[in-house]
Amino acid sequence: MSTETAEQTALEVWVDQDLCTGDGLCVQYAPEVFEFDVDGLAYVKGLDGELRLAPGSRVGVPAHLRLEVIDAAKECPGDCIHVRRATDDAPVAGPGADD
């Protein structure tokens, strides 16, 4: 990252349900961002609290939850949480990131 800090960079997150193992670590780390649906898999939810059920649906990461969401991606046993910079789609945590 150039002169921007992690706190200044807008992040987006999404879950690949094809890889989700349903362990629930993400919900424990950031229940405001992740939630299980009736299928037992994790999904992201928007600021309105609604689950985004369409495959690849992204939501913005609230600034005060950045570390929790990044930790959830790093600890996910299914390696299915993608955290990306909103500006250039570069991976921050999860698949493709240099953890």
pLDDT tens digits for 49-67? 999 999 999 999 999 999 9
* Cα-Cα-Cα-Cα dihedral sign, residues 31, 32, 33, 35: positive
For the chain, the structural domain boundaries read 11-93
Taking residues 1-28, report their average pLDDT. Answer: 81
SS3 48: coil
Which structure tokens are listed for 66? 């950045």
Pairwise CA distance, residues 35 & 28, whole Å: 9
For 11-93, CATH gives 3.30.70.20
**pLDDT for the residue 32:** 96
Q: What's the pTM value of the predicted model, to 2 decimals?
A: 0.88
pLDDT at 3 over 70: no
Is a pLDDT exceeding 80 seen at residue 4? no
